Amino acid sequence: MRWLSKQYDQVIGTDISSHVIDKAHELCQEIDNATFYVNEADSLPAEVLPSSIDMVYVFTVFQHIPREYTLGLLRKIQEVLSDNGVVVFNLVSCINENKNDGIAETEWAIGYSESQAQDLLAKAGLQLQKMTKWSGPESSASWLWLAASKKV
């Protein structure tokens, strides 16, 4: 948030946990151009208006929620992006690419193949700008990093 607040006139942080948002308020109280909202798992805060956002950054969220929520959130992100806006996010890859949930009370790891990621973007009305795959030697899992914009 600190870095983003120096790059943009206004920055917005959202999370489904009120505890996380309270902690964000505490840690970022000196940032004058930051606003934080609690949102539902399948939506963005109502205060985020259509076509009002230049950049959305989603870090390590979509592996933890069912695919339909991921698609729904990406559709809402597409709605709030400005015409030149971009969304950057990551997806787990090379594991659990056919799962849609996990064991209760555990950290889910819903994975996406490269083709599933591209299909997800198309269904959300987003156009792929760049996809990068990253993996480390210690795991069979990889990360897909994607940058996408509104379809023109």
Tell me: the pLDDT tens digits for 108-146? 789 999 999 999 999 999 999 999 999 888 888 899 999
Domain that holds residue 16: 1-38
Q: Check the CA dihedral 88-45-125-121 and report its sign.
A: positive
pTM of the model: 0.92
- Give pLDDT tens digits for 33-91: 999 999 988 899 999 999 999 999 999 999 999 999 999 999 999 999 999 999 999 99
Which among 17, 94, 85 is positioned nearest to 53, based on CA atoms? 85
Q: How far apart are CA 108 and CA 64, in angstroms?
A: 5
44 domain-assigned:
no
Q: How many domains does the chain have?
A: 2
7 three-state secondary structure: helix
CA angle 145, 25, 84 (to 5 degrees): 40
Residue 45 within any structural domain of the chain: no
Phi and psi at 142, nearest 5°, equal -130, 175
